[in-house]
């Protein structure tokens, strides 16, 4: 059994999700102690409980310590099973953070997996679904994974109620990832609002488009105002942008009192900054890539504008569970290169 200190480094829910995913994929029991111990509200929250119980169901794991506020769990996995699964987080908790744990597990099942998850599709401190689909999972799929995401209904804080369907086929040996510059300057995007006037999405999109054009890029932004059966339970909006040239994305959520123009401009400014910095992977995608890189054969390399504590925590866990070795090279204010030499199967 591998014991993980849940308070080390970043010390949040990401550490718990990654440890659980590695445990299931490698069929290695894990104990996570001091869960979120450094947080003002330590221990397990509904979002974490939903993720742990879902992962346990998928691989017939014996799970202990799964109660609100618990600071320690043990997860003893069995074989990962394919098939259909339905999970309801029960709050506006992020469906994308749940999928951050479940999708890699599902990819190592013996048969295809269909996940239907209910919760929040665009909530603070987590990647909205367009970002997951068009940036993170695009990188995964280029490595040999087969992940597809469909949003059936969007869900914003506080009521949530969003629903997504994820279709995941078994992965072969994942391929290494090597990023390289591309000449295209096309930027794709989605400006979306629900239970709000349609002009909110229009204004967000125009502000982002104007900023991108001024910087010399070619924006292709879809504008969507959710109506009728697609209307979310709570009002909300988002502006999500991504580059076709690399694994770079930026998302900004609307907030009460925040002008729509500010939402669009903020998302554009972040993405422009990543691209002008010379990065090929944005900081939020970088930490998501560590797990698949550590499972792929050979050497992977990518550049990012910033190596966050989330990414460094992911690297520490990857080295612990897989024996892969990472190097991080670069200084502040410029792109940083992350290299992974994954341990070959059977070695």
Question: Could you tell me if 86 and 168 lie in one domain?
Answer: yes
Residue 48 designated active-site? no
What's the rounded Cα separation, in Å, for the pair 289 and 140?
Answer: 8
What pLDDT does 91 receive?
85
What pLDDT does 346 receive?
41
Instruction: From 276, 303, 318, give the residue that closes a domain.
Output: 276
- Is 212 within a domain? yes
Instruction: From 45, 78, 111, give the residue that closes a domain.
Output: 78
Question: Could you tell me if 84 and 74 lie in one domain?
Answer: no
Question: Could you tell me if 93 and 149 lie in one domain?
Answer: yes
Question: Could you tell me if 285 and 315 lie in one domain?
Answer: yes
- Is 177 within a domain? no
Question: Could you tell me if 236 and 269 lie in one domain?
Answer: yes
Considering only the C-alpha atoms of the chain, give the largest distance between any 2 of them, rounded to a whole number of Å. Answer: 58
Domain containing residue 36: CATH number: 3.30.110
What's the rounded Cα separation, in Å, for the pair 185 and 149?
Answer: 25
What's the rounded Cα separation, in Å, for the pair 335 and 305?
Answer: 4
What pLDDT does 233 receive?
96
Quote the domain boundaries for residue 106.
80-172
- Is 178 within a domain? no
Q: Which of 48, 280, 284, 310 is catalytic?
A: 310
Structural domain count of the chain: 4
Domain containing residue 235: CATH number: 3.30.360.20
Instruction: From 172, 202, 232, give the residue that closes a domain.
Output: 172
Question: Could you tell me if 160 and 84 lie in one domain?
Answer: yes
Low-confidence ranges of the chain (pLDDT < 50): 345-347
What's the rounded Cα separation, in Å, for the pair 247 and 98?
Answer: 21
What pLDDT does 344 receive?
61
- Is 290 within a domain? yes
- Is 329 within a domain? yes
Domain containing residue 94: CATH number: 3.65.10.20
What's the rounded Cα separation, in Å, for the pair 226 and 201?
Answer: 10
């Amino acid at each position: 059994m591998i014991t993980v200190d849940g308070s080390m480094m970043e010390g949040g829910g990401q550490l718990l999700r990654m440890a659980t995913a590695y445990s299931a994929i490698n069929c290695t029991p894990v104990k996570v102690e001091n869960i979120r111990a450094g947080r003002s509200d330590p221990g397990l929250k509904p979002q974490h409980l939903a993720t742990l119980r879902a992962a346990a169901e998928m691989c017939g794991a014996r799970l202990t310590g799964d109660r609100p506020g618990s600071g320690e769990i043990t997860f003893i996995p069995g074989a990962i099973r394919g098939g259909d699964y339905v999970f309801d987080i029960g709050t506006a908790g992020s469906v994308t953070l749940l999928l951050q744990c479940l999708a890699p597990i599902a990819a190592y099942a013996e048969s295809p997996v269909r996940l239907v998850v209910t919760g929040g599709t665009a909530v603070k401190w987590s990647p909205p679904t367009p970002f997951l689909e068009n940036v993170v999972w695009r990188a995964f799929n280029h490595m040999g994974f087969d992940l597809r995401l469909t949003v059936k209904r969007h869900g914003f804080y506080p009521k949530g109620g969003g629903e997504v369907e994820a279709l995941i086929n078994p992965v072969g040996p994942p391929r290494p990832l090597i990023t390289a510059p591309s000449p295209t300057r096309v930027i794709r995007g989605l400006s979306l609002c629900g239970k709000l006037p349609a002009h909110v999405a229009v204004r967000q999109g125009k502000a982002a488009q104007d900023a991108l054009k001024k910087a010399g890029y070619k924006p292709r932004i879809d504008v969507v105002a959710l109506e009728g059966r697609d209307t979310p339970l709570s009002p909300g909006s988002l502006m999500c942008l991504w580059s076709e040239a690399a694994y770079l994305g930026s998302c900004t959520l609307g907030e009460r009192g925040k002008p729509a123009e500010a939402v669009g401009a903020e998302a554009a400014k972040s993405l422009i900054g990543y691209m002008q910095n010379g990065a090929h992977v944005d900081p939020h995608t970088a930490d998501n890539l560590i797990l698949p890189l550590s499972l792929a054969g050979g050497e992977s390399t990518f550049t990012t504008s910033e190596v966050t504590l989330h990414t460094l925590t992911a690297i520490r866990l990857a080295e612990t569970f897989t024996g892969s070795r990472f190097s991080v090279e670069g200084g502040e204010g410029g792109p940083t290169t992350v290299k992974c030499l994954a341990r070959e199967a059977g070695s």
